[in-house]
Amino acid sequence: MRRDLAQLTSREYDLIVVGAGVHGAWAAWDAVLRGLKVALVERGDFGGATSGNSLQMLDCWPSPPRLLDVASLRTSLAETATILRLAPHLAQPLPCLLPLRHGLKQFPPLLNAACRAHSLLRGGMDEPLPPKAKVIPAAELGRWAPEPLVRGARAGLLWHNGQLDDAQRLCLALADAAWRGGAAVANYVDVREVITRNGWAVGVRARDVIDDAELEIRGRAVLVAAGPWTRELTGQAPRQPQWALGCNVVLDRPIGRAAVALRSPFGRHKDPLRGGRLLFMAPWRGRTILGASYRLSLGAPQRPAVWADDFLTLLGLFNRACPELALQPQEVCSVRWGLLPLAQGGVAPLGGGLSTRPQVRAMAISGGPKRLFALSPVELTTARALAQRAVDLVLAHLGLRGRACRTARQPLWDEPAALTANPPSAIDQASLDRLAVDYGHNAAQVAALAADDQALAQPLSADCPVLGCQVAFAARREMAARLADVILRRTEMGKFGPPPDEAVRRAATIMARELGWGDKRLDDELTLARRAFFLTRQVRQAQGQPLKRFIG
């Protein structure tokens, strides 16, 4: 995948997709598969906003409120099965456990309904499906979760969600698939406005963030999938407050096999956003991801205010829900946050809290330009289905109905090519196995870079197993334009907290060589990359503060 802005601006597209979060990336690939000429532009990096900071669960939880919306529950189940099938290297089934402390007597009707609905809705779907939900006895709980989390529980509800290994890699894989199918794809292109002529959307005006240059991209239709920023770009009247800030943290502590759901001490009735009734602790790459807490997002969506206290509050909620956990700030290896839309009316009790209704709109319906479309997301689980709806709508407006969507059948994964049969000698087998998991069919190409240049076969430092060839591959083939892209989104360097400085410097040197950076640019990139861990460091330094303070 190459960033070619000359090509981007040299032709007219059938569809310009603005935003390469999970929705925009699915939409671009879908449109390519249906024969459209597509441009996909992203003002930051692929999946670098809310998509890359979510809990990464493909959510099939048959909760009582969701049982009332059977269609949405069925879509979630079907989409989870689809992603597990299409991208087995990026998603796995995730057992989830809700310990039931009050015994079965208080729960049977709802629980039985939930389990039965789960089984019924799975009927007729393709494999691989998450196994059926069931109630398990207290004696079995220890098989799934550590003792403190299930202490005092008399039974447990066990069901399966899916879990993305890395939502940013999913966005990258989709953008890459669109590019290989002929789309023009570019990150660090900030769309400033939609260009209209005689009431029709005919393109976008944008800025190349890297070289600070103005760009004009021409298209017959524009789909804005810019998450929280969609309303501004599509000229919808600002509605305050519109967004909730959601926070997760990754903890340097393993948990058992299952994600454990704990009842939030806030409770739904006390939470003004009617958000996290359940808090989740999910196993993730040998660590634990905790989420989520929500509050109103203050300030414009361009610059939401986020503080260390937001993450300390989340730890406090978990400690209140299960005091035996005794979570400490210094255990936090990374913090993540994103914005979620609020339902019409916003805050409870008058408003509906977090939005549960994803939307695709032709802006012409509300007096906006023709062939301008806006996508309002709710969750990444159903992003493929929502993108399909968006592309259906675009095709109808372009007079191209009848081109069937193929994204539910088209794998994002080929088996890695003979990586173990003929490994480049300098890379050890454990690293080769890791490359196969992380890069799928591209793994052989990553390893081949090290065969050409043996120095790239080495880990970046003694305590950072990422190989030099991964950094070179990110720059050459994965459109990493900044050092932070490599550290946060192309490799595991910064996934679990600030990486060792020696590894950062070595990665910066490889990037500088690949992309022709001078000394000043190299220094700027190092500064920016280190700044990315500012909040994590602040949270860790809160060591010893009484967490109780944050939740009163």
Q: Which residues contact ligand FAD by CB under 6 A? A: 18-24, 41-44, 48-51, 54-57, 59, 190-191, 225-227, 229, 233, 246-248, 291-292, 338, 340, 377-381
153 contacts 104 by C-beta, under 8 angstroms: no
Q: Which is nearer to ligand FAD, 338 or 346 (CB)?
A: 338
Task: Identify residue 271 by its one-letter amino acid code.
Answer: D
Task: Identify residue 551 by its one-letter amino acid code.
Answer: I
Give me the phi and psi of 355, to 5 degrees please. Answer: -70, 140
Q: Which is nearer to ligand FAD, 83 or 202 (CB)?
A: 83
The length of the chain is: 552
In whole angstroms, the minimum distance from the beta carbon of 298 to ligand FAD comes to 15
User: HEC profile for 204-232?
Assistant: EEEEECCCCEEEEEEECCEEECCHHHHHH
CA–CA distances in Å: residue 203 to residues 6, 389, 531? 16, 21, 34
Q: Which is nearer to ligand FAD, 59 or 331 (CB)?
A: 59
In whole angstroms, the minimum distance from the beta carbon of 66 to ligand FAD comes to 13
Q: Based on the number of CB atoms within 10 Å of its own CB, is 516 exposed (0-12), middle (13-18) or buried (19 or more)?
A: exposed
In whole angstroms, the minimum distance from the beta carbon of 18 to ligand FAD comes to 5
Strands (DSSP E) found in 63-179: 91-100, 134-137, 155-164
Q: Which is nearer to ligand FAD, 291 or 494 (CB)?
A: 291
Q: Which is nearer to ligand FAD, 53 or 461 (CB)?
A: 53
Please, which residues bridge with residue 342 across strands? Answer: 354
Chain centroid, CA 499 distance in Å: 21
330 contacts 308 by C-beta, under 8 angstroms: no
Cis-peptide into 416, omega within 30 deg: no
In whole angstroms, the minimum distance from the beta carbon of 250 to ligand FAD comes to 12
Q: Based on the number of CB atoms within 10 Å of its own CB, is 393 exposed (0-12), middle (13-18) or buried (19 or more)?
A: middle
Going by the DSSP 8-state scheme, the letter that residue 243 receives in this structure is: E
The backbone region for 304, taken as left when phi is positive above 0, alpha when psi lies in -120 to 50, beta otherwise, is: beta
In whole angstroms, the minimum distance from the beta carbon of 136 to ligand FAD comes to 23
- Provide the token pair at 246: 């959601």
In whole angstroms, the minimum distance from the beta carbon of 441 to ligand FAD comes to 24
User: Is residue 260 within a helix (H) or strand (E), and if so which, with residue range?
Assistant: strand 259-263
- Of all residues in this chain, which one has the CB nearest to ligand FAD in the complex? 21
Q: Which is nearer to ligand FAD, 50 or 334 (CB)?
A: 50
The count of C-alpha atoms lying within 13 angstroms of the C-alpha of 248, restricted to the half-sphere facing its C-beta, is 22
In whole angstroms, the minimum distance from the beta carbon of 468 to ligand FAD comes to 28
In whole angstroms, the minimum distance from the beta carbon of 87 to ligand FAD comes to 15
Q: Which is nearer to ligand FAD, 24 or 369 (CB)?
A: 24
382 contacts 360 by C-beta, under 8 angstroms: no
Q: Which is nearer to ligand FAD, 355 or 461 (CB)?
A: 355
Q: Which is nearer to ligand FAD, 22 or 483 (CB)?
A: 22
Q: Which is nearer to ligand FAD, 378 or 487 (CB)?
A: 378
In whole angstroms, the minimum distance from the beta carbon of 518 to ligand FAD comes to 27
- Provide the token pair at 33: 């598969």
Q: Which is nearer to ligand FAD, 205 or 406 (CB)?
A: 205
In whole angstroms, the minimum distance from the beta carbon of 48 to ligand FAD comes to 5
Number of Cβ atoms within 10 Å of the Cβ of 65: 10
In whole angstroms, the minimum distance from the beta carbon of 70 to ligand FAD comes to 18
User: Is residue 110 within a helix (H) or strand (E), and if so which, with residue range?
Assistant: helix 108-122
